[in-house]
Every structure is written in structure tokens, then in C-alpha cells.
Amino acid sequence: MKPTQEHWREWRLHAPTKILVTSITAMAAETTTFPIDLTKTRLQLHGESRSHGSSQPTNAFRVASEIVRRQGPLGLYKGLSPAILRHMFYTPIRIVGYEHLRNSLKTDGGSLSLQARAISGGLSGVIAQLVASPADLVKVRMQADGRFVSQGFQPRYSGCFDALSKIAREEGVGGLWKGVFPSVQRAFLVNMGELACYDQAKRFVISNQISEDNIYAHTLASIMSGLSATALSCPADVVKTRMMNQSEIKEGKIMYNSSYDCLVKTVKVEGLRALWKGFFPTWARLGPWQFVFWVSYEKFRKIAGFPSF
């Protein structure tokens, strides 16, 4: 079904307000859950495909405790500024884009299948990640910098804009999109699981009279979508994190030549389970993140006079 002129007119009228509401809500959710995201990133980088020696096993609690011990509580917010910058673009594009695609494909009085919702969510996530990838790269690099500080080295970057300028100067403008392929893969899987599952789960809860369209329905839907998104995206997230973090060339070679090379080396050296490193902190972050985001977003939509998502 092609979008009608009325649909496009409504889109142009309401999109700016929806983008603003989405940005503010996403930044609040990101700030709330950022320490968990930092812990997940450090955990995914632990034992990074080293063929010599073996790293000591660790877990999310040990990683977080070590960060606080060496850098203090504020160390848990290393890399927050690029994370906030990323969500000023990433979340509005994927959320508003998904809603636009969903409403465009709907027939009069009908509803989309789960498959159509999944495709719409995945595509909106891909577009959003392509735009926000440089900020995502800087976030990963600044989060990983804490490891250098704990080993007595100077951090690579002093701040968000310093990182952007140094990466562009030393690695070329294209370097700002390093790891974009695995990050786009992850974005497709995350949004396919998150947006489609939240949308479908909320409607299931309401239509089966488990709950009305309120905070309870939003909470149940966010929990289900968080689990779905984490299970689907964790391997791509590990590869994305490692690809984005590599910046130094040693002996004329980089650690990973491609995302596939990273995948193969990670499994070969650390085993298949390494692809789900950080699963618990990823889910522990996605659950609260989605709870804070969706409950707040639905509330703000209501205040702004928009129907429920």
C-alpha cells in the first residue's frame, strides 16, 4: 500500500515533535544505564583473541568493581558524551522511521504481520546506524580507553570531539565508519528483535486483556523485547565492539582484516561461547534501558497528544 497524501502531510506535521521527544527520552535512558553498557564493552574486549597465553576468566561484577577501584565511580561514565551524541541521531531515526514504515504498510483497518514488523524494524535500524556510526565508534574507543589508564598509559583521546578529529586525521574520514558492517548487522538484529517484539508483545498483552495500554503493558513488552534483541544481536555486538576498538597497527598488520576474520579468530581462540560474552550485562542494560525509554516515551507521546506507539 502506497502512503497517501494525508499520511505524508501528517508525517511532516508531527515528525519534528516526535523526533524531539524521542531524543530526550533516549538520552535519559542512556544516562541511566550507561555504567552497564561500559561494563558490557570491557567484558567483550576481555581476552581479545590472544593466541599466546590465556586471560583469567572474569564476569560483569569483577569488571565493574575493577573500574570503580581504579578510576572511582565516575569511571563508570567514561564515554558518556559520544553515547549521548549517538542517541541524538540513532534513536529518533529508528523509532520514528519504524513507525513511519509500519503505518505506511498498513492497510485500512488492518495490521501488519510479525514478519513485516521485523523487516520494518531492521531496516529502520540499519539507516539509523549508518548515520550514527561515527559517534558509536568514539563511544567504544573511549570506553576501552579506561583499560589503558588502568595499565598506566595515557588515554588515546581527551574527549568526544578530540576523538573524532584524531580518528579522521590518523585513519581517514572513512575510519569514522570502521566496523560499520558488523554494527549495521547488529542494528538490524537489535531493532528487528526490539521494535517488532515490543510492538507485537504490547498488542498481544492488550488484545488478550492481560493489561490495558498502561505502564504494566509497556513493562511486559519491554522485558520480552529486551530478551529477544539480546539473543539475536550479541554475537554481532561482540564483533562490532572489537572491530571498532582496533586502531593500532602492530608489525604492519591489524588484528582483524574484516568482521568475518574477527568472528573466525574469536571463535578459534576463545571458543563459540565468546560470541555471547557480555550477554548478561547486554540484557541487563537493554531491559532497564527499554523500560526507562518506552515507559517515558509512551507517557510523553500521550502528553504531546499522539496515540500510543
Domains in the chain: boundaries? 5-49+57-304
Of all residues in the chain, what percent carry a pLDDT higher than 90?
A: 16
| pLDDT value of residue 3 | 54
Residue type at position 210: I
Average pLDDT over residues 53-76: 78
Average pLDDT over residues 132-149: 80
pLDDT range class, residue 85, cuts 50, 70, 90: confident
> Above 70 in pLDDT, residue 27?
yes
| pLDDT value of residue 52 | 45
The CATH number of domain 5-49+57-304, selected from 2.40.40.20, 1.10.1040.10, 1.10.510.10, 1.50.40.10: 1.50.40.10
pLDDT range class, residue 5, cuts 50, 70, 90: low
| pLDDT value of residue 125 | 93
What is the model's pTM? 0.75
Average pLDDT over residues 238-261: 73
Q: Quote the Cα angle for 45-46-48, to 5°.
A: 70
Average pLDDT over residues 213-239: 86
Three-class secondary structure of residue 28 per DSSP: helix
> Above 50 in pLDDT, residue 251?
no
> Above 90 in pLDDT, residue 302?
no
Of the given ranges (44-53, 105-114, 199-208, 285-294), which has the lowest mean pLDDT? 44-53
Of the given ranges (31-40, 75-84, 144-153), which has the lowest mean pLDDT? 144-153
32: number of Cβ within 10 Å = 16
Comparing 145 with 69, the larger pLDDT belongs to 69
Cα 147 from chain centroid? Answer: 21
> Above 70 in pLDDT, residue 140?
yes
pLDDT range class, residue 131, cuts 50, 70, 90: very high
